[in-house]
Amino acid sequence: MSRRWPLLTLALTLLLLAGARTAAAGQACDETPPGTEAVTRGLALAESVRQRLEASGAEVVLLARAGQDLSRHGLRWSHVGLAYRQPEDGSGGRAVWRVLHKLNHCGTAESAVYRQGLGQFFLDRPHRYEAAFAPLSPALQAQLLPRLRDDAQAVRLHEVRYSMVSYAWGQRYQQSNQWALEMLAADAAAGTRDAAQAWLQQRGFVPPVIQLDTFTRLGARLAMAHVAFDDHPTGERLAGRIGTVTADAMFRWLRDEGLAGAVTVVR
């Protein structure tokens, strides 16, 4: 959304949602307010996800949406967040699910971490009204849950400078999926990005390589403030081999390392 509130704001009313302008993570702003159908479909998907999350018995999951069509790169999901269960407050209300995720400010190369409800998470005009989640291992859930609920801990590894194709092992920028991946490593990494990335390498995470020719890279760099390639190793960059963090790679790695269960797709 072109207007978003960081961590302390937990929800918007339906009226505000219907009148807000939307943008997917890593894209420029779309000034057109979402129509009734988009709001209805987004909230319906959010409710379906909530029901499946409750049935899973998990308290923390990796949650993905299909905000952009990345099929030309062999990718199904574009953006992830860390979703966690917030217990009932004792007043008789049901437990709610929150999503902590990173977004760039519309049309800029700066970003922030946001805490949103499921409804808001799925109102960014997705390419497909589908979602996917994988419950994290019990040990990883226990480590992450208190940090996800704490504002200061939630931004401990956040880098404001944003590139949607940031180098997986770089420090200059940080894209949305990269932030979530490094958060998964934070407890083993003494709270630094260097240590988080070292731990991820030790645990066998291999960033996928997206092939982008010179013309595509130059056009993207000139047209979009939130795209930069100067953090990638020179040889790889000149060869058009862009190693960045994707949602699909995260799901595979978590499963292979025994850090998450099977992926559930929700439509």
The enclosing H or E element of 242 equals strand 241-243
Choice among 69-78, 152-161, 252-261 with the minimum mean pLDDT: 69-78
Domain membership flag for residue 235? yes
Give yes or no for a contact between 45 and 266, defined as CB atoms under 8 angstroms apart. Answer: yes
Give the pLDDT mean for 80-90. Answer: 85
- Which residues, 6 or more positions from 96, have their beta carbon under 8 angstroms from its beta carbon? 85, 86, 117
Report how far residue 143's alpha carbon sits from residue 127's, in angstroms, rounded to the nearest whole number: 33
Give yes or no for a contact between 61 and 53, defined as CB atoms under 8 angstroms apart. Answer: yes
Which is more confidently placed, 240 or 18? 240
Give yes or no for a contact between 166 and 231, defined as CB atoms under 8 angstroms apart. Answer: yes
Count the residues in the chain: 267
pLDDT (tens digit per residue) in 89-116: 655 567 899 999 999 988 788 999 999 9
Q: Total domain count for the chain?
A: 1
Domain membership flag for residue 7? no
Which residue range is the domain that position 259 belongs to? 14-266
Domain membership flag for residue 6? no
pLDDT given at position 222? 55
Residue 125 has pLDDT above 70, yes or no: yes
Domain membership flag for residue 68? yes
pLDDT given at position 213? 72
Report how far residue 163's alpha carbon sits from residue 73's, in angstroms, rounded to the nearest whole number: 18
pLDDT (tens digit per residue) in 35-63: 888 888 999 999 999 999 999 999 999 99
Residue 11 has pLDDT above 60, yes or no: no
Domain membership flag for residue 255? yes
Give yes or no for a contact between 49 and 133, defined as CB atoms under 8 angstroms apart. Answer: yes
pLDDT given at position 217? 66
Residue 204: how many CA atoms within 13 Å on its side-chain side? 8
Q: Is the CA virtual torsion 241, 27, 66, 245 positive or negative? A: positive
Report how far residue 100's alpha carbon sits from residue 82's, in angstroms, rounded to the nearest whole number: 5
The enclosing H or E element of 80 equals strand 79-86
Could you tell me the pTM of the whole model? 0.84
Backbone angles phi, psi at 101, to 5 degrees: -155, 165
Q: At what angle do helices 176-185 and 247-256 cross, to 10 degrees?
A: 20
